[in-house]
Amino acid sequence: MNRHVATVRVRYAETDRMNVVHHASYIVWFEVGRSELMRAAGIPYRELEDAHGLLFPVIEVGATYRQPAAYDEELEVRTTCTTLSPVRVRFDYEIARPGSDQVLAAGFTVHACVGRETGRLARMPAWLMERLAP
């Protein structure tokens, strides 16, 4: 599963003094999208860490903001796995209003695959790469 759509609702705490979503909130929503994509692919983060001893720390993040969102709006987090190597994975994100092609924000995160015990790069097992394959 390399694409997933999750829904979030803008909470008051996620807005700023201008009554729009604070830029940092989008990064949190990227994590929601990524976590739900992995869960839908049958590999929830907790299982990846606890059962397989693998971590996916963020090593790069970027975002572009195009249109504001406001308190109590429902938004879609569209997440796609776009690049995969034995030790890295990249997810791309779009934040949009449901049923709209207008993207409010777009971004990406790049993650390294790291062994929990060693803290060093680890090769992703073949089954994991198959489930995330773009």
* Per-domain boundaries in the chain: 3-132
Please give the pLDDT value at position 134.
Answer: 82
One digit per residue, the tens of pLDDT, for the chain of length 134 reads 588 999 999 999 999 988 899 999 999 999 999 999 999 999 999 999 999 999 999 999 999 999 999 999 999 999 999 999 999 999 999 999 999 999 999 999 999 999 999 999 999 999 999 999 98
Is residue 5 within 8 Å of residue 76, measured between CB atoms? Answer: yes
CATH code of 3-132, in short, is: 3.10.129.10
Which residue in 106, 107, 110 sits closest to 89, CA to CA? 110
Q: What residues are paired with 76 via a beta bridge?
A: 7, 96
16 is catalytic: yes
Q: Which one is catalytic: 16, 50, 72, 92? A: 16
Cβ pair 1, 40 in contact under 8 A: yes
E strand or H helix at 93, and its extent?
A: strand 88-96
